Amino acid sequence: MYVAIFVVSLVFAIMFHEFGHYATAKAFGMKVQKFFLGFGPTLWSVRRGETEYGVKAIPAGGFVRIVGMSALEEIDPADRGRTFFEQAAWKRLIVLSAGSVTHFVLAGVLIFAALTFIGLPVEPGTDVDVVLEGSPAAAAGVRPGDRITAVNGQPVETFEEVRDLIAVSDGDALAFTIRRDRQEREVEITPASQRPDGTQGAFVGIGPPTIIEPVPPGESLRRTIVGDYSVVAIARQNLTGLGQALNPDALARWFGQVDDPGPRSTDGPLSLVGVGQAVNALGQSGAIFEMLFLFAILNITLGTLNMLPLPPLDGGHVAVLLVEQAVNGVRRIGGRAPTWRLDPTVIMPLALAVIAFFVVLSVTALYVDIVKPASQLLEQ
């Protein structure tokens, strides 16, 4: 069910993105010829007025075709005055940016809803809610309901403090002081060096309860705009992470996973299937706040990527517009007509290279998320 919710949410996000372009273009009187979801052969379409709406075979985004967006396009004399390139620069900038803006708006709505109607997870105390079977903590006799009051004689008040002390243990035995039935006792736990997911790190096998604290609407709105949960903060983290992920060393590690028999790297891009798997896991575990937050992060990521100054992304079109405005500003100062437009054939090679890069990245992510695990399972 949660996978279906993810698919519907993704389709809605794409439709909302294209509607942003469509609605702003219509509002400025531009002629919109097509509004389609997907690419490739047309599966279904219908014409309403001057616009054709439809669905294409390859579900990899969508597009809105506005008359006059390409310098190579032949313009019907009847459309003069309603073409894209004849509009004021600020109108064109709004139309080009509107699609990405819708992702940030949708993300803000999701974050606000998660905070207001579900609540915010807060840092718990030191009560133990989960003890994994077969873990070092279970072997030492720790039970759900125990309260940790100290580790190696150092008092603790939050589970984060407990985690920090476990992390720096270097595998040495730790003395846990726990309170059970109003009595304190001490148990010795030697952390394991590997977590259940196969990653390296000190692990004892205990977890805190999940505590949800309702957030008033006004505070939810503030947190949506500023703070760790805000759209701006997540977008900033996306840009930082994108810069780190696209450096040559990171890309080499990522593509090296194709032949690496080890577990999937956690710092590489997820395919949409991988994101769907994460959504399904969160939904089944009842982590609805985290699921909504993941939808918000996905939308912010889509909005951020779309505004990169690379053709054929929206940000690439914005970059072309800014270049044309700069050149025409110089021409205007020199007394020449400000009618210069960038030749699309000049940027076409870059656009094709960007498309090829994202296709290779997506295919690799699909392989790492689906084909590789399935192959390893069959070999067992």
The first and second tokens of residue 310, run together, are 């690379």
What torsion, rounded to 10 degrees, do the Cα atoms 141, 142, 143, 146 define?
140
pLDDT at 260: 63
In whole angstroms, give the CA distance from residue 34 to residue 304: 25
Total Cβ atoms within 10 A of residue 289: 19
pLDDT at 147: 94
Tens digits of residue pLDDT in 141-167:
999 999 999 999 999 999 999 999 998
Tokens 């001490």, located at residue: 186
Q: Give the chain's residues under pLDDT 50.
A: 377-378
In whole angstroms, give the CA distance from residue 100 to residue 79: 27
Strand partners, 185: 178
HSE, CB side, 13 Å, CA atoms: give it for residue 265.
18
What's the CATH fold of domain 130-210?
Pdz3 Domain (2.30.42)
pLDDT at 263: 55
pLDDT at 211: 82
Domains of the chain, by residue range, sit at: 1-31+81-117+214-380, 32-66, 130-210
pLDDT at 199: 78
pLDDT at 89: 95
pLDDT at 68: 92
The first and second tokens of residue 367, run together, are 């392989």
pLDDT at 102: 97
Its pTM stands at: 0.77
pLDDT at 369: 63
pLDDT at 197: 74
123: left (phi over 0), alpha (psi -120 to 50) or beta: beta
pLDDT at 355: 87
Task: Kindly report the backbone phi and psi dihedral angles of residue 318, in degrees, each rounded to the nearest multiple of 5, phi listed first.
Answer: -65, -40
pLDDT at 36: 96
